[in-house]
């Protein structure tokens, strides 16, 4: 019997490093490439967990920092863990809280011990360490969990990026030592900002620690798209091809296709639901900006043939009316549509890889988006 964390490549592109795979987890196999909607506080904003599952998405990602501050990982553990707490039948990943280092902490808050972060909920100062992060992630019970890292800000100097990646490597060793559960797949995290030589060193050193899976962090934090793709390429060249590779916080539909073409297996991003709440909808005929006056009397669906509740039941005119009212139902319906689009994109990517048609799909996505 294959052990948890085993990654099997099930199909490869005849034209490059893109691949389909299967990652074995405690809650079943995860088909890759896969997209993880962000359920930072144990919910995708405005969308119930079963509605995410109904879109055909297997996995979501939650944030250990937010959940340890409220309601507390002990509260969730006492209720059977995160899956049961959310009534979520699929797989779950948890982020370590490293992104909060980037978004909430000041450089003076970061020491070798960890990071002092102020809770956005209570204002309380919390010392987040590799040990504290892994304690929370173990208690939450996610299938895929992350080493605690520093998400290096952009821009930063090569000197700071160097110091940061070395600290992240030491935190990776502490994270691994603190990890207590064999039914969770622990990802090592690569940093190095936009500096290729630092990315190479970080990837090599993280790979040498022999984690079952790897994440590429510190991308899509303000750098150009070209810099992001270069950083991903440099890291992939040094990470084991036989293990899952996850790019954190990426991204647009075109980003997903381009990263898959380079050999990436996993993604997460707030973009589909955040854009939905702002009235930007993805369709295979192009982007719909629902606030535009042209949709006020448009009786057609957002996208013909789309099975999501927004398209199956409602007109663009009605959806625009809800959106302009700032009605909560608009957030839900529009978010479901964009999640459906991402699910359909992932399905098309998986079909295109073994057929050698990823380039054709990329051209289509680039044209419509």
Which is the catalytic residue, given 183, 268, 298, 299?
268
Give the β-pairing of 185-190 and 213-216.
parallel
* Bond from prior residue into 155 cis (ω within 30 degrees of 0): yes
- 162 an active-site residue? no
Q: Are 312 and 306 in contact (CB under 8 A)?
A: yes
Predicted confidence at residue 102, as pLDDT, reads: 72
- Please report which residue ranges of the chain form alpha helices under DSSP H: 49-54, 64-69, 73-78, 82-86, 98-104, 130-140, 158-178, 196-208, 225-236, 253-261, 271-277, 309-313, 316-325, 328-355, 358-368
Which is the catalytic residue, given 74, 95, 162, 258?
95
Q: Are 345 and 34 in contact (CB under 8 A)?
A: no
Determine the distance from the C-alpha atom of residue 104 to the mean position of all C-alpha atoms in its chain, rounded to a whole number: 19
Predicted confidence at residue 1, as pLDDT, reads: 54
Digit-coded pLDDT (tens) for 277-319:
999 999 999 999 999 999 999 999 999 999 999 999 999 999 9
- 183 an active-site residue? no
Q: Which domains, ranges and CATH numbers included, belong to the chain?
A: 33-269 (3.20.20.105), 278-369 (no CATH)
* Bond from prior residue into 319 cis (ω within 30 degrees of 0): no
| Of the candidates 26, 9, 27, the residue with the CA atom closest to the CA atom of residue 18 | 9
User: pLDDT tens digits for the chain (369 residues)?
Assistant: 578 999 999 999 999 999 999 999 999 999 999 999 999 999 999 999 999 999 999 999 999 999 999 999 999 999 999 999 999 999 999 999 888 767 788 878 999 999 998 888 888 888 999 999 999 999 999 999 999 999 999 999 999 999 999 999 999 999 999 999 999 999 999 999 999 999 999 999 999 999 999 999 999 999 999 999 999 999 999 999 999 999 999 999 999 999 999 999 999 999 999 999 999 999 999 999 999 999 999 999 999 999 999 999 999 999 999 999 999 999 999 999 999 999 999 999 999 999 999 999 999 999 998
Determine the distance from the C-alpha atom of residue 228 to the mean position of all C-alpha atoms in its chain, rounded to a whole number: 15
């Amino acid at each position: 019997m294959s052990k948890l964390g085993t990654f099997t490549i099930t199909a490869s592109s005849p034209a490059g490093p893109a691949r389909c795979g299967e990652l074995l987890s405690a809650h079943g196999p995860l088909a890759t490439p896969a997209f993880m909607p962000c359920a930072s506080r144990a919910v995708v904003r405005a969308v119930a967990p079963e509605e995410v599952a109904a879109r055909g998405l297997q996995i979501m990602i939650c944030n250990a920092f937010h959940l340890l501050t409220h309601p507390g990982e002990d509260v969730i553990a006492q209720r059977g863990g995160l899956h049961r707490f959310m009534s979520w039948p699929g797989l779950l990943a948890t982020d370590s809280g490293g992104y909060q280092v980037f978004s909430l902490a000041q450089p003076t808050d970061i020491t070798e011990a960890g990071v002092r972060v102020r809770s956005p909920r209570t204002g309380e100062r919390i010392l987040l360490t590799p040990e504290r992060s892994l304690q929370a992630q173990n208690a939450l019970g996610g299938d895929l969990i992350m080493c605690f890292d520093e998400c290096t800000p952009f821009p930063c100097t090569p000197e700071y990026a160097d110091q940061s990646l070395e600290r992240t490597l030491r935190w990776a060793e502490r994270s691994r030592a603190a990890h207590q559960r064999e039914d969770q797949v622990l990802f090592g995290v690569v940093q190095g900002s936009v500096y290729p030589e630092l990315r190479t060193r970080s990837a090599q050193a993280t790979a040498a620690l022999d984690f079952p899976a790897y994440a590429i962090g510190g991308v899509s934090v303000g750098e150009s798209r070209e810099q992001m793709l270069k950083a991903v390429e440099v890291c992939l060249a040094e990470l084991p091809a036989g293990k899952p590779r996850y790019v954190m916080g990426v991204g647009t539909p075109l980003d997903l296709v381009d990263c898959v073409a380079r050999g990436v297996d996993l993604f997460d991003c707030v973009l589909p639901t955040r854009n939905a709440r702002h009235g930007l909808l993805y369709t295979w005929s192009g982007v719909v900006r629902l606030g535009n006056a042209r949709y006020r009397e448009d009786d057609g669906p957002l996208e013909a043939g789309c099975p999501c509740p927004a398209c199956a039941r409602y007109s663009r005119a009605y959806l625009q009316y809800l959106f302009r009212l700032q009605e909560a139902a608009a957030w839900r319906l529009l978010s479901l549509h964009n999640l459906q689009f991402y699910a359909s994109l992932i399905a098309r990517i998986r079909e295109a890889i073994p057929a050698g048609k990823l380039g054709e799909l990329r051209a289509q996505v680039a044209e419509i988006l």
